[in-house]
Every structure is written in structure tokens, then in C-alpha cells.
Amino acid sequence: MASRNPPVAEPPQGAVENESAFVRVLGTRSGRFVEFEFGIGSDDLKVELILPFQAFKEFCQERHAEILPPAEGVATELDRLAWRAGQPGLLRQPDKN
């Protein structure tokens, strides 16, 4: 029986790899999830996502995403969540030296 899903087209080589990725934390949910915007390239196109804290951290690392300052009033709650998860300092950018 044939699959109902059409084949997914692969993006052209290098189409997205050279674009800078960014995330902006919008909030937390249930003290376990991070709600954030993710974009590549310009600020014109972005998506809102929700991931568990550890998955959010891995998501950012794998995409080498720049973490922009969080939405107003969110930094304190995110810092609390990071401490609970044993990952303090999530919002600090790594040194680029």
C-alpha cells in the first residue's frame, strides 16, 4: 500500500545553514515548559514553539541560536526554571573569544 504522505523536498544545499538563528523567550508554562519564538535570518518570519526546558536548551545549542533578551517580565521566571533544572545562566551568551 502506498504512503499517503508526499515526499518532502530537501532544501537546497546551504540555503539555511548560512543564516543566523535566534530565539526569544516569551514565557514559561506549568513551571516545566519554555514558550519561545524561533527565527532564521530576518525578524520577518518566526514561529512560536513550546518545549520542555532541557529540550529548549538542546534546540538552541544544535542550531547555534542567538538567545535574544526575553520578553518583558519573563527573565526572572526563566532563571528560576533554569535553576530548578540545574542549568543556571541559560540566558547568558557564551564568550565568543
What is the pTM (predicted TM-score) of this model? 0.61
Give the model's confidence band at 8: pLDDT under 50 very low, under 70 low, under 90 confident, else very high: very low
pLDDT tens readout for residues 51-82: 998 999 999 999 999 988 876 677 777 777 77
CB 38 within 8 A of CB 51: no
Residue 36 is predicted with a pLDDT of 94
CB 52 within 8 A of CB 30: no
What is the DSSP annotation of 63-95? TT-EEEPPSTT-HHHHHHHHHHTT-TTTTSPPP
Q: Which three cell numbers stand for residue 81?
A: 526554571
CA-to-CA separations, 17 to 1, 28, 59, 68, 91, in angstroms, rounded: 36, 29, 15, 19, 23
Closest CA to 79 of 88, 66, 92: 88
